A and B are shown apart, each in its own frame.
Chain A
Amino acid sequence: MRNPSSATRAAISLALPIAFLALGCTPAVNVTTTRQTPSAASVPFRTDVNDALGKAQLRLVEVRVDRSPGGPLRAQVDVSNETSRVKRFSYKFEWLDAAGVLIPSTQSTWIPASVPPGGIATIRSVAPTDAAADFRMQVLRSQ
């Protein structure tokens, strides 16, 4: 292998800090588990035609529901941002009982959230009572 010339070495030494500087603005690698199959708590989900997540350029990755140590159901929703900009949105969970009736709760409120470029955020909620059997989540894109 040929030794790089002094001009090439200079170019590399200049390019590397610039590359690191550029990488500093966006995460280069997103660390995640090596799990390939859905979690045992993973549940099927439905996104409406008027897909607010899609409009916010976010992708729904997985929805998990299990019973919390305290008793009520808890939900986790993984949302990924495959763009190169931070995506801001707000979300609201509403919990329903087995008959599909809305359970009124002060926990049901709009919460602001964001996902870094190329990253994943897990948004979560815990049901207000043990009677909750299902939930729905609304998303609004922030300005």
Chain B
Amino acid sequence: MKMLLATSVALASLAFLGACGSRPGYIEPGGPESIVTPGEVDIQDIKKAAAVMLDSLFETGVLGRAKNQPAQLVIGEIKNDTSSRFDLGELTYRMREQLVNSGKALTATPDEVKRRMFFDPTYLPDYTLTGKITYIKRQAGRIRQTTYTFSLTLTDPSTGMEVWTKTDDLTKQGTKSGIGF
């Protein structure tokens, strides 16, 4: 009888604990319920950086000053100089989507531009987009802090001069990963 009672209590406890666990479900990508990792670049960080960069590109009007309209843009090299591994396409595709769909720019890869230049050696795109993602890591006791800096530059290939540049900093602090901003 005692054995039966103990088993029932154990099963009830397990069922209770199971009910308290996190159930799988959908959340808004990059939304406030996302996991925040102090030492890594998260999806919400990439989405924020892309938004800040696009805000600046549209606000300054640099795309409207290009010879061609819509401006012709080559997405060049963007270096990830951080210890966090992620696909840089997460940043560039988001930016390309908005640039092309807004009608303000046409984008191409360096390979596509090389192919075009093979047939038309005088061809030059209006701008080349390049950039770098860097980080500074610090620790005080158990608190870890990482500042990620996203830097992007638009260069006019005909002059080699930078026509637009923007940096966006993001500092994450914590002892371990958590949920929410």
Contacts and interface: CB of A to CB of B under 8 A. Distances in A.
Interface of A: 68-72, 74, 88, 90, 105-112, 124-129, 140, 142-143
Given A70-B59, A110-B48, A128-B102, 5 more contacts: A70-B61, A70-B63, A90-B181, A107-B51, A126-B54
Main secondary structure of the interface of B (DSSP, over half): helix
A105 B60 CA distance: 18
5 contacts: A68-B58, A68-B60, A110-B48, A125-B55, A126-B56
Contacts, number: 79
Contacts of A74: 55, 59
Sorted nearest first, the 4 A-B pairs with minimum C-beta distance are A70-B61, A126-B55, A112-B181, A109-B47
B129 interface: no
B180 A142 contact: yes
Given A107-B98, A129-B102, A70 B58 contact: yes
A110 B31 contact: yes
Contact of A71 (B31, B55, B64): B64
Contacts of A112: 48, 181
B54 A128 contact: yes
Interface of B: 28, 30-32, 44, 47-48, 50-52, 54-64, 94-95, 97-98, 102-103, 180-181
Given A68-B59, A142-B180, A109 B32 contact: no
Given A70-B59, A106-B94, A129 B48 contact: no
A69 B31 contact: no
Most buried by A among B48, B51, B57, B98: B51
B138 to A, nearest CB: 19
Contacts of A88: 181
B61 A71 contact: yes
Contacts of A110: 28, 30-32, 44, 47-48, 181
